[in-house]
Amino acid sequence: MARKYFGTDGIRGATNAGAMTASMAMKVGMAAGAYFQRGDHKHRVLIGKDTRLSGYMLESALVAGFTSVGMDVIMVGPLPTPAIAMLTQSMRADIGVMISASHNPFADNGIKLFGPDGYKLSDEAELTIEQLIESDVPLAPSAQIGRARRIDDAQGRYIHFAKATFPENLRLDGLRVVIDCANGAAYKVAPSALWELGADVVAIGVTPNGTNINDGVGSTAPQTLSETVVAAGADIGIALDGDADRLIIVDEQGKVVDGDQLMATIAAGWARAGRLAGGGLVATVMSNLGLERHLSAQGLGLVRTAVGDRYVLEKMRSSGYNVGGEQSGHIILSDYGTTGDGLVAALQVLAELKRAGAPASEVLHRFEPLPQLLKNVRFAGGEPLEHEAVKATIAAAEAELSGTGRLVIRPSGTEPVIRVMAEGDDARQVETLVDRICDAVRQAAA
């Protein structure tokens, strides 16, 4: 059965519309609270958020929902998504909630749920919670309504945790680091952690006002970071997204380094230290073929999954890998956490930079990416990928790319769009094949 509200990363949408209203948030709290009340102990939920204006509204509604079914609530305010996952586990909460729409603009928001182990919920758990949302969840008796409180030391707990992932024998002294927090959840903790480890910190994207999250800053808009790195004469730039589970790096020349290059850097360092599990790493079908060839040349493997960090993590857990992620910058290091953590991944990259004693431009650009092109085709309805002419066009393109490239065609999980991606040694060929498939999809959908 398909899920109605949950997507690949929780419930997300425009606020005060659809599923992202206060009334829906209260229902989510009631349903999730009912689902996780198991055993005879007093149950608790931990709630964090990013800096969006709508976070106040959704937080209050969630608190009402959870307390109405008898759960105690701990609110920690703006903190990164990985901090919520970590604190849920370390504080023995039954459930963790992050209110965030990640890299989306401020008008959107979302609700991400974590189980008591700090991992995102399974599809089955989310489906059960959806069924509870649409049912009459029993309310707690008056004397058993939950209590809500805020705690003040959550930021310090996460900073301590993040710093503990950095090698004990290294310091960041002598490095000038620009950190772009996207006016989001990490605007306090990320600069503090870097400064306490010895870096000379230049912080941007650290003045949230409720509406400027991801607005011209952060991992999806690295131009400001690039300009700041060059102007400040910095050694490296770090860009996080709105909830700080995504990372993009800029070298000292202002050139962007994506998630594929960062995973290659971390994997190489961990392999050298004998701590890379699984003999390689896990990435999605969107990671560049250049990464796969680079790893193969080092005797390391690459396992691909569907798009989405949850699928990467599932494969890591089932097959024993400890490094995985996405080209977009979601990097999961399971030795340290249960979800992507932009700050922790950045610290591993900085450790490699310190060990190498060379500029970021030399250390982080591990391979030459193959020409890669992605185009989206919007359609009104039906299943254009099932059309025989489309199938034939795709088969012909795959045959033409055989041995020299890859083709990835997939429908979007959130909108009526077909995503067509090709990569190969010949950029002109890649563009021709993508256009040919897009034309076939448009004709089939007409």
Binding-site residues from annotation for Mg(2+): 102, 241, 243, 245
Told to judge if 122 belongs to the known catalytic residues of this protein, a careful annotator would answer no
User: Packing angle between helix 22-36 and helix 54-68, nearest 10 degrees?
Assistant: 40
Of the listed 68, 100, 102, 219, which one is catalytic?
A: 102
Long-range contacts from 360-365, C-beta under 8 angstroms, 24+ separation: 360/235, 360/236, 360/249, 360/251, 360/252, 360/257, 361/251, 361/252, 361/253, 361/255, 363/265, 364/249, 364/251, 364/257, 364/261, 364/262, 364/265, 365/251, 365/255, 365/257, 365/261
CA–CA separation, 374 and 412 (whole Å)? 13
Long-range contacts from 21-25, C-beta under 8 angstroms, 24+ separation: 22/57, 22/58, 22/60, 22/61, 23/61, 24/133, 25/57, 25/58, 25/61, 25/62, 25/65, 25/111
Q: Of 30, 100, 92, 116, which is closest to residue 65 (Cα–Cα)?
A: 30
400: which 2 tokens?
């033409």
CA–CA separation, 210 and 441 (whole Å)? 40
CA–CA separation, 106 and 15 (whole Å)? 9
Asked if 245 and 186 touch (Cβ cutoff 8 Å), the reply is no
**Residue 214 DSSP SS3:** coil
**Residue 160 DSSP SS3:** helix
**Residue 334 DSSP SS3:** coil
Asked if 19 and 134 touch (Cβ cutoff 8 Å), the reply is no
Q: Output the CA–CA distances (angstroms, integers) from residue 86 to 18, 161, 223, 421, in the order listed.
A: 30, 9, 31, 35
Residue ranges for the known binding site are 102, 241, 243, 245
User: Which of 113-141 are b and which e, b meaning 16 or more Cβ less than 10 Å from the residue's Cβ?
Assistant: bbbbebbbbeeebbbbbbebbeeebeebe
Nearby residues of 395 by Cβ (< 8 Å), 6 or more positions away? none
CA–CA separation, 145 and 68 (whole Å)? 6
CA–CA separation, 365 and 363 (whole Å)? 6
The residues assigned a catalytic role are 102
